[in-house]
Structure 1
Amino acid sequence: MLTVYGEGRGFRVVWLLEELGLAYRLRPIDLLAVEEDRDFLAINPAGFIPALQDGETIMVESIAILEYLLARYGSCSLSVAPDDPAFAPYLQFLHLGEAGLAGPMNAVLVGRQFAPEAEREARVTRWADETFQSRLGLVIRRLADCPYLAGDRFTAADISVSYALLLGLRTGNYVPGPAERDYLVRTTARPAYARAMENCPATKVWAARSPGL
């Protein structure tokens, strides 16, 4: 059986697994005590989440895991074939959800909520916020033409970007505009999203305590 280690960005993986109807187990990871979790460190010595174990195969990095699952177990309904005109935007937004949105938002979160007060608006924090906002502009422009990032249908690119937008929203560092709000209403209304939330208790509690749509 597939094993997902950790929530956080692991929620992307769980959401995709629910969309695909694949059996899995979720292994919680306490990042505050990860140095004592020898079983997990044997899977991912770097000690970050998520990780996926599929038999003898181990994958880390949430977007790489999504691509692996889609290539190995997925259906074309959640990905886009290279000869499809929507392939380029699909691939772009699949990766932008982490590299352009969630990654910079992590820096904003750390800078504003964990740094000493005098450092909370440091140049690097402002740069990360500006990076998030500029990449968000690509999402907004795409949503002006299409209901989903690959076009007319939901794909893994929407899992990637929706997670990043929800990360910003739930940490209080981003307020969705009308286009993003309508988009998130569409993506989070999916039954697979609801099942993923039920199976990720820490994420469910965090969402319940955070600003909503």
Structure 2
Amino acid sequence: MITVFGEGRGFRVVWLLEEMGLAYRLRPVDLLAGVDKDTEFLAINPAGFIPAIQDGDVTMVESIAIMEYLMARYGPTSLAPDPGDAAFPAYQQFLHLGEAGLAASIYFVVGARHFAPESERNNWSAGQALSVFESRLMLVTRQLTRSPHVAGDTFTAADISVTYALELAQVSGGVTFGDVERSYMARMRQREGYKRAMETCHTRKAWLAKAGIQ
């Protein structure tokens, strides 16, 4: 059985697994408490970040890479358009933009807002990271004015990637979205795969509920 270590970006992996109907178990990892004594997890990822998966003899980290592995290993799946599909370029772009352009940038904004000393919470680097996020968000907004999903008419793993980043920005990054983004996130939350993933990811469910998002 596939084991997913940690929530956070691990939610992307859990959501994908639910959409694909694959068996898995979620093994919690408490980063806030520190992982120094979590020897099982450190044996999987000695760098100490989440998510990670163990699938038989395969061990992987990095949420987007894990998603691509699972779809290639257990597909084919409509969550990953065929390279010959007209939706494939947009799918590839937004699958990776969801992390490289959005989540990775807002991560540093979240860190500054919630964990930095008071005098450092609006530092230059945090401002730059927010600027990067906002510029990449323009691409998402433009795409969603053209189609219901980021790769076109059909839900794909790129929507999982982007939705995670937008929720992180909304709840912890202090970002206010317009109607286009809010409508999109509301639609994504209505997916049965998303709902099942939320029932597994108790910490995330509580985090969103605290922010008034059900």
Give me the TM-score of the superposition, normalised by structure 1: 0.97
> How much identity, in percent, do the aligned residues show?
59
In 1: Cα distance, 2:4 partner to 2:185 partner: 24
* Count of matched residue pairs: 213
| Structure 1 segments unaligned to the other structure (5+ residues) | none
- Residue 193 of structure 1 corresponds to 194
Which consecutive segments of 4 or more residues in structure 1 shift more than 4 A?
Answer: none
CA 1:109 to 1:190, structure 2 compared with 1: closer, same or farther past 3 Å?
A: same
In 2: Cα distance, 1:171 partner to 1:108 partner: 9
In 2: Cα distance, 1:87 partner to 1:172 partner: 30
- Residue 94 of structure 1 corresponds to 95
- Residue 16 of structure 1 corresponds to 16
The one-letter code matched in structure 2 to 1:73 is Y
Q: Tell me, yes or no, if structure 1 residue 4 matches structure 2 residue 9.
A: no
SS at match of 2:139: helix
| Structure 2 segments unaligned to the other structure (5+ residues) | none
In 2: Cα distance, 1:211 partner to 1:174 partner: 15
CA contact (8 A) 2:20 2:77 kept: no
CA contact (8 A) 1:6 1:27 kept: yes
SS at match of 1:19: helix
User: How far apart are residue 66 of structure 1 and its match?
Assistant: 0.5
CA contact (8 A) 2:106 2:173 kept: no
CA contact (8 A) 1:170 1:211 kept: no
The one-letter code matched in structure 1 to 2:90 is P
- Residue 212 of structure 1 corresponds to 213
In 2: Cα distance, 1:159 partner to 1:196 partner: 11
- Residue 37 of structure 2 corresponds to 36
In 2: Cα distance, 1:172 partner to 1:164 partner: 10
1:169-201 CA-partner distances (Å, limit 9, x unpaired): 111511121000111111110001000000011
Alignment map for 1:135-150 (pairs within 5 Å): 135-150=136-151
- Residue 177 of structure 1 corresponds to 178
CA contact (8 A) 1:16 1:156 kept: yes
Alignment map for 1:15-94 (pairs within 5 Å): 15-31=15-31, 32-94=33-95
CA contact (8 A) 1:172 1:211 kept: no
The one-letter code matched in structure 2 to 1:66 is M
SS at match of 1:34: coil
1:133-181 CA-partner distances (Å, limit 9, x unpaired): 0000000000111100110000000000000000011115111210001
Give me the TM-score of the superposition, normalised by structure 2: 0.97
1:11-61 CA-partner distances (Å, limit 9, x unpaired): 000000000000000000011230101111111111100001000000100
The one-letter code matched in structure 2 to 1:209 is K
SS at match of 2:84: coil
